[in-house]
């Protein structure tokens, strides 16, 4: 009882984190993705683009591009507007301006597996196949399954002006082009030099260096130091590392969605009419 | 400061409303639908089915079918399991079992227009086309999204899920007992015909109107609103054919034609197949939805009035 009272008092005074139940403003922009889909990298890219005077690090990123779950209510109130914030939420109608990053579910599953080892949520000998089964069921995060999260945003917002869809794979292959699209979406004028500088300051090598220097920053705090946060920073890693059974499980769960996003299926044929699939995904650049 | 203290004490005793922070239990059943889509009627039906010993009315329905924005936290903790929870919210993955109520958005728009007049949020002269602007943009309830966003988010994430039951208001009107039996089977509630019939009888539009007169002022839905406009209005479907100008029908169909087609609602200002072409939802919902929609259009083409008695045959399962 006393504990509840203390908690409530803290809450009404704004000293607790609001989690997903925070106040959203009309002019907020959100960088949204399912976890392990390149969100932190995108935060670095945008922070470095908008704040050339203060290079992004693992310790200042929560201030430059904050997330509601990392701040208390009163801290959140003090973030200058218009805010650019990070989120992993499934569809939230209050978010009016959204940069949504999607990544191949097969790579996401693998990345989350290693991240959970780093977080000590699973042991090194935890079977990968079992993890993938739970991943498909949406049992490994609070943000819905990968398919729930991606589909809930795409179906509702895909054709809206306040929505920018980015594929992690395109960002890896054409970082400058994709960051230019982000700058246009944010309505900021940037020179090629500033773009190049932001990309350079957010490179995988640079981020690895920063991770080494800031091992106790929020994303990596209290985690195993023998497994890095910035891992391969590549796409298609699943091809060599994911058991065939797991690939089949992921593909059969989300075949139409993956095909629509341009992710080629290795084992499962897309179920719906292929003609429609080929012409789909207008916001996604062809490869 | 006094306000804070009152809030803290209320919270400590469980008298506050949990709102979105409600703790979800694995066996909770969520009744989700956009406002003015038959949610209250469905709650009466379910409450009368599951709690036959209680007299269900506007004054107590929130104690039986829990509403996080109305019901006190204490009552959430005391409620028998499985709890039935009501929401108007968009997709929420925390719930494993969801009854999703939908209604033709052309009727939802009209119903919302009258409800906002009742609540004195718009006056009687408010132009319908300006209202439709706001309806399409989802500006009426920002935290719920537009009809298309709200319904689309549920269909996108849950359409094929075994823990998802789609319940069309039009089907519920056409054959209430049959649809309530579907709901009962889904929730594993008693579904013998007598009990179903009794629940349907006790939740009729007339009975609900009676309860509205007697207990309306005790309900958050009605309290303080205009008495000359009833909450329980026509309780019919297809009113848009008479009351919604074609230009406004066209705007709704242009914005949400693919979702409407997936749900089997006939389109009158555009072709069903073009609405589904390159629609991601059509792709995710798979061939079944497209076929159901196309089949319904064929059936409707053979009948002159497009009456709702046909709806049942073509509902998406």
**Out of B4, B143, B156, whose CB is closest to A152?**
B156
How many C-beta neighbours within 10 Å does residue A160 have? Answer: 11
Contacts of B254 in chain A (CB under 8 A): none
Q: Does A35 contact B at CB distance below 8 Å?
A: no
**B294 contacts in chain A (CB < 8 Å):** none
Distance CA A71, CA A128 (A): 33
Q: Is the pLDDT of residue A21 over 70?
A: yes
The secondary structure of chain B in percent helix, strand, coil, rounded to multiples of 5, reads 55, 5, 40
Give me the sign of the Cα torsion angle B106, B109, B111, B114. Answer: negative
Which residue of A lies nearest to B5 if distances are taken between CA atoms?
A9
Instruction: Kindly list the residues from chain A whose CB atom is less than 8 angstroms away from the CB atom of residue B143.
Output: 93-94
The shortest CB-CB distance from A93 to any of B4, B145, B156 is to B145
- Residue A281: per-residue pLDDT: 47
Q: Do B90 and A145 touch (CB under 8 A)?
A: no
Smallest Cα–Cα separation from B113: which of B125, B92, B128? Answer: B128
By CA distance, what is A270's nearest residue in B? B283
A158 at B interface, C-beta within 8 A: yes
Interface check B175 vs A, CB under 8 A: no
Q: pLDDT tens for residues A251-284? A: 999 999 999 999 999 987 755 444 344 434 444 4
A272, B149: Cβ pair inside 8 Å? no
Residue B55: other Cβ atoms inside 10 A? 11
Retrieve residue B171's tokens.
Answer: 């089907």
Q: How many degrees, rounded to 5, is the angle at CA B299 between CA B293 and CA B300?
A: 90
Higher-confidence residue of A3 and B190: namely: B190
Look up the ipTM and state it: 0.86
Chain A with chain B: Cβ pairs closer than 8 A? 103
Model pTM score:
0.87
> Among B146, B278, B33, B280, which residue's Cα sits nearest to residue A151?
B280
Average pLDDT across chain A, whole number: 87
Q: In this complex, do A151 and B286 lie within 8 Å of one another by their Cβ atoms? A: no
Best mutation site among B15, B150, B152, B261 for testing chain A: the one with the most A CBs within 10 Å?
Answer: B152
Strand partners, B168: B102
According to the 3-state scheme, what is the secondary structure of B26-46? CCCEEEEECCCCCHHHHHHHH
Which candidate from B4, B156, B287 shows the least CB-CB separation from A155? B156
Q: Which residues pair with A19 in a beta bridge?
A: none
Residue A162 banded pLDDT, cuts 50, 70, 90? very high
Mean pLDDT of chain B: 85
pLDDT of residue B312: 33
């Amino acid at each position: 009882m006393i504990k509840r009272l203390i908690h409530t008092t803290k809450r009404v005074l704004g000293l607790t984190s609001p989690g997903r139940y925070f106040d959203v403003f009309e002019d907020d922009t959100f960088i949204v993705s399912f976890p392990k889909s390149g969100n932190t990298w995108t935060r670095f890219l945008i922070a470095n683009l908008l704040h050339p005077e203060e290079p992004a690090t693992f310790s200042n990123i929560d201030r430059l591009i904050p997330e509601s779950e990392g701040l208390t209510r009163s801290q959140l109130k003090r973030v200058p507007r218009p805010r650019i914030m990070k989120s992993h939420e499934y569809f939230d109608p209050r978010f009016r301006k959204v940069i949504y990053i999607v990544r191949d579910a097969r790579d996401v599953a693998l990345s989350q597996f290693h991240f959970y080892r780093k977080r000590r949520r699973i042991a090194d000998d935890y079977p990968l196949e079992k993890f993938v089964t739970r991943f498909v069921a949406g049992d490994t995060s609070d943000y819905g399954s990968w398919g729930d999260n991606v589909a809930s945003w795409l179906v509702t917002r895909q054709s809206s002006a306040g929505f920018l869809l980015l594929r992690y794979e395109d960002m890896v292959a054409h970082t400058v082009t994709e960051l230019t699209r982000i700058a246009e979406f944010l309505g900021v004028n940037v020179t090629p030099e500033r773009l190049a500088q932001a990309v350079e300051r957010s490179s995988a090598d640079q981020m690895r260096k920063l991770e080494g220097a800031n091992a106790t920053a929020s994303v990596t705090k209290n985690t195993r130091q023998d497994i890095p946060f910035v891992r391969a920073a590549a796409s298609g890693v699943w091809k060599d590392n994911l058991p065939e059974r797991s690939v089949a499980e992921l593909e059969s769960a989300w075949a139409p969605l993956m095909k629509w996003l341009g992710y080629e299926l290795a084992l499962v044929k897309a179920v719906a009419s292929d003609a429609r699939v080929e012409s789909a995904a207008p916001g996604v650049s062809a490869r | 400061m006094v306000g804070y203290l009152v809030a803290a004490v209320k919270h400590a005793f469980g008298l506050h409303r949990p709102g979105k922070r409600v703790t979800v239990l694995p066996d909770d059943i969520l009744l989700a639908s956009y406002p003015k889509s038959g949610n209250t009627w469905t709650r009466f039906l379910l409450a009368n089915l599951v709690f036959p010993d209680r007299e269900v009315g506007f004054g107590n329905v929130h104690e039986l079918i829990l509403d996080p924005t109305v019901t006190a936290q204490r009552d959430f903790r005391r409620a028998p399991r499985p709890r039935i929870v009501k929401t108007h919210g968009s997709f929420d993955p925390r719930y494993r079992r969801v009854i999703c109520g939908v209604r033709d958005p052309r009727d939802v728009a009209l119903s919302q227009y009258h409800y906002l007049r009742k609540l004195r949020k718009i006056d009687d002269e408010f132009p319908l086309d300006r209202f439709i602007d706001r309806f399409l943009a989802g500006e009426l309830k920002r935290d719920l999204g537009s009809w298309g966003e709200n319904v689309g988010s549920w269909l996108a994430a849950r359409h094929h899920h075994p823990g998802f039951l789609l319940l069309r208001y039009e089907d519920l009107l056409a054959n209430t007992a049959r649809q309530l039996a579907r709901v009962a089977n889904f929730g594993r509630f008693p579904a013998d015909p007598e009990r179903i019939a009794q629940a349907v009888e006790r939740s009729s539009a007339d009975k609900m109107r009676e309860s509205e007169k007697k207990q309306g002022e005790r309900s958050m839905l009605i309290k303080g609103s205009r008495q000359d406009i009833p909450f329980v209005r026509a309780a019919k479907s297809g009113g848009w054919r008479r009351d919604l100008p074609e230009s406004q029908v066209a705007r709704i169909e242009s914005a949400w034609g693919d979702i409407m087609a997936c749900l089997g609602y006939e389109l009158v200002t555009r072709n069903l197949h073009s609405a589904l072409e390159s629609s991601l939802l059509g792709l995710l919902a798979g061939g079944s939805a497209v076929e159901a929609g196309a089949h319904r259009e064929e059936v409707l083409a053979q009948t002159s009035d497009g009456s709702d008695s046909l709806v049942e045959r073509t509902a998406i399962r």
